[in-house]
Structure 1
Amino acid sequence: FLDDPSVRVRGALAYGLLHAVEAPRPILLALLGDSPVIARAVAQYSPALVDADLMSVIRSADEAMLMAVCMRERLSQRVVEALIAFGGRPVLLALLPRPDVPFTAAMLSRIAANEATEDPELRGLMLDRDDLPADARLVLVQAVAAALRANRIVGGAVAPHRLERILRDATDTALTSIGEHEAAAGRLPYAATLVDSERVSTRVMLHAIVQGHVLFFADCVANLAGTPRDKVFTLLERGSRAALNALFTRCGLSEAVRNMLARLIFHARAADLADDLAARHFVVTALTEELIVDHGGVIPPDLEEAFAYLSEQNVLLARRAARGVMAAFAGSTDARMVLPELEAADRLALPAA
């Protein structure tokens, strides 16, 4: 049948063997070298093919054959790496939506750094994956912020300074949220990598506390101070002011920053900052007022960045809280609201010119 000149006969043979686990290998390999429509069907469906068979097909395949291999029910890590190496973007678009495809963390990080930063469609597919490494997710979030910053529609709709403030706040929130998720899962290298690359600033630490991302904050402090995470978490939860100051001294923070963080932690112990928007606003307002009183209205230079951050958050949190207040006020009455009639002199009617 393999020697039959009719493609229908050879196609019928392939169709009969497509799903057979024990199909004869010589026949399958011969069908892989047959006409494209037969070869693609065998490559896509045959469970009797092993990785070595697929690798030899991938090295000399065109895009249609690569896409056929991408649609196989099961793919190994080795085959996925070969498909990406030879297929490029079309293969990524076919494989990334599949949660069953075994991407390694290194592969996803490489794709995020090389292909996805400038490709919105790939960025979206990668951000949808639960197995995306934390460092790669942060790279993609920063790429999204850069794309929004460069977008003409966004730039025309939002004032430049406000857009920069919004994007910076959103990026900081993403950074600390990813860190909180990694810390909750017991994966510590994310915070350590940020500390080693000097990306954990006073602003980031403040943002972590204000957003209620305490686990990430504890990881950062543990890496900065060279102290076990459990001990750091105990001090943050129950430590005295002197103990907190000693811990922050090991982190290399200035005296003014140490005192500010200690004040913020004492406020945070009595509030649920992770879910309570009003509590966040209260804590930020209280800390801002205390800094103004303590320093007589003259904020030290090493607190200027932190004070500017607290002022931004104060305005932002107040606006968020006010949105719910207006809706509640509008719904508090069923009476029809009518505008008052104004007493005014009769208008002079002028004939049309």
Structure 2
Amino acid sequence: MYSQSLIDIFGADHLMYGEARLSIVKQMTDLANSPEVTKAELDIVQMVYSEFYRDHFMAVRLEISKAICEAEYISRHLILMMAEDCASVSQFILHHSNKLSSVDLIDFVVKGGAVKQLAIASRHDLSNDVALSLIEHGSLDVIYALVENQSAVLNADNLRQLYTNFSMNAGLRSLLSQRDNLPADLREMIVYDVAKSLEDYVTNANWLDEGQALAITQKSYEIAAIEISIGIADADMMDYIKRLSAEERLTSSLILRSITTGYMKFFEYSLAYLSGLPIKKLHSLLHNPNASTRNALFNRAKLPQDLHAVLTIAVDVYRDLQFQHACNLQPGTHEFSVNMIKNVTECYHMQSDNGQAYLQRVLDCYYIDISDRMAA
């Protein structure tokens, strides 16, 4: 059963008992971890592990698995053999060993059960291709472990695929939102789904009627969708706007809210996309003080006629605020947005009473009620 070399070292009678073999394995582990260990001694350690790794006494296999999972001197062959063992034994190897390639790990993901997949999902610096395999084959618990593993390499496509597969799970949405590398379009998708879930919940619970629920959740979604755009690079901004349009979420309300709260980049890229103009050309036309030029631009973007006055005022207010407070009031901050809204409101009331409903929808997000100041 055992090699003659092993019998010569430890004795045949001693090898008959599981507890004795376990004691031998522990002695070998201590020897291998000794600073003075020699290569000859490591060869003996590996010989013991190689003969005991299929021991019928589970404690022996567990001890070996724990001992070799991070050991550099152990052969890749032994690592692979122990990774094939039952999940309770192999999980240490699958979680820690750097002798397993991505191909090895993917193979264990495909043919292994949940425990093995969980061990792999928690590996440090898990590669992108292994993560994708876990997304395709793993259960929800495995996906949770993968998302919680901040060292796992999850590219934007993987994260989108993961969310597509498990988008209805609220806990997973929360975990994803905590990742620093979550792409902007996925953040927007999560925000939209959360808003819709909240709308359905408060409606079904009879807390609000459908109209009230829609107004509140739509407002929250719009604020978040615009603020997400702050961190998007100019080169990627048009893709964000295009996707909003493809999902039918680039609404007049969203565009109005962006400019009246001071998010000029979102506003400009939205107009550029809707009008079909290059962003630089759009910027030049938008900031031309000629009213007919701006109205032509808004018409080309197919924005409602009754919004044109508010949009024109908001563009001018944005310019004036930047000029007046260049050092201490920055676009993209709450303070800048509040100042935008107040100034747009004051300027608008001096000129027209059209489109108040649209304007109020924007002002609601900062709890500013203009109803008592509407023109009679």
Q: Which residue of 1 aligns with 2:357?
A: 308
Say whether residues 1:219 and 2:297 are aligned partners: no
Q: Which residue of 1 aligns with 2:109?
A: 58
Q: CA distance change for structure 1 residues 313 and 288 in 2, over 3 Å: closer, same or farther?
A: farther
Q: CA distance change for structure 1 residues 193 and 16 in 2, over 3 Å: closer, same or farther?
A: closer
Letter in 2 for 1:90: D
Aligned partners of 1:41 and 1:68 also within 8 Å = yes
Say whether residues 1:251 and 2:312 are aligned partners: no
Q: CA distance change for structure 1 residues 262 and 87 in 2, over 3 Å: closer, same or farther?
A: same
Say whether residues 1:111 and 2:162 are aligned partners: yes
**Aligned-residue offset at 1:51:** 1.4
**Aligned-residue offset at 1:218:** 0.8
Deviates more, 1:170-179 or 1:159-168: 159-168
Q: Deviations over 1:158-208 (max 9, x none)?
A: 565443322111111122222343255744201122335553232221111
List aligned pairs for 1:153-164, cutoff 5 A: 155=205, 157=207, 161-164=211-214
Say whether residues 1:265 and 2:326 are aligned partners: no
Q: CA distance change for structure 1 residues 183 and 216 in 2, over 3 Å: closer, same or farther?
A: farther
Of the three residues 139, 145, 164, the one matched with 1:94 is 145
Of the three residues 179, 188, 193, the one matched with 1:138 is 188
Q: CA distance change for structure 1 residues 251 and 211 in 2, over 3 Å: closer, same or farther?
A: same
| Cα distance between partner residues in 1 of 2:305 and 2:201 | 42
Q: Deviations over 1:299-320 (max 9, x none)?
A: 5xxxxxx531212344554548
Q: CA distance change for structure 1 residues 278 and 56 in 2, over 3 Å: closer, same or farther?
A: closer
CA RMSD of aligned residues (A): 2.9
Aligned partners of 2:123 and 2:152 also within 8 Å = no
Q: CA distance change for structure 1 residues 318 and 80 in 2, over 3 Å: closer, same or farther?
A: closer
| Cα distance between partner residues in 1 of 2:154 and 2:237 | 19
Q: Deviations over 1:46-101 (max 9, x none)?
A: 11111122122222212111111112122111111112222221111111123321
Unaligned runs of 5+ in 1: 293-298, 300-305, 322-353
Q: Which residue of 2 aligns with 1:283?
A: 344
Aligned partners of 1:127 and 1:137 also within 8 Å = yes
TM-score w.r.t. length of structure 1: 0.76
Say whether residues 1:18 and 2:53 are aligned partners: no
Q: CA distance change for structure 1 residues 102 and 178 in 2, over 3 Å: closer, same or farther?
A: same
Aligned partners of 1:288 and 1:311 also within 8 Å = no
TM-score w.r.t. length of structure 2: 0.72
Letter in 1 for 2:193: A
Letter in 1 for 2:69: L
**Aligned-residue offset at 1:228:** 2.0
Say whether residues 1:123 and 2:173 are aligned partners: yes
Aligned partners of 2:203 and 2:210 also within 8 Å = no
Q: CA distance change for structure 1 residues 56 and 199 in 2, over 3 Å: closer, same or farther?
A: closer
Q: CA distance change for structure 1 residues 33 and 314 in 2, over 3 Å: closer, same or farther?
A: closer
Task: State the percentage of identical aligned residues.
Answer: 23
Q: CA distance change for structure 1 residues 135 and 210 in 2, over 3 Å: closer, same or farther?
A: same
Q: Which residue of 2 aligns with 1:202?
A: 252
Matched residue of 1:193: which SS?
helix
| Cα distance between partner residues in 1 of 2:88 and 2:248 | 55
> Which aligned segments of 4 or more residues in structure 1 are displaced greater than 3 angstroms?
1-16, 152-163, 183-187, 195-199, 234-240, 252-260, 312-321
Q: Deviations over 1:105-161 (max 9, x none)?
A: 222223323312x21101111122232233322221121112212325995555654
Aligned partners of 1:203 and 1:309 also within 8 Å = yes
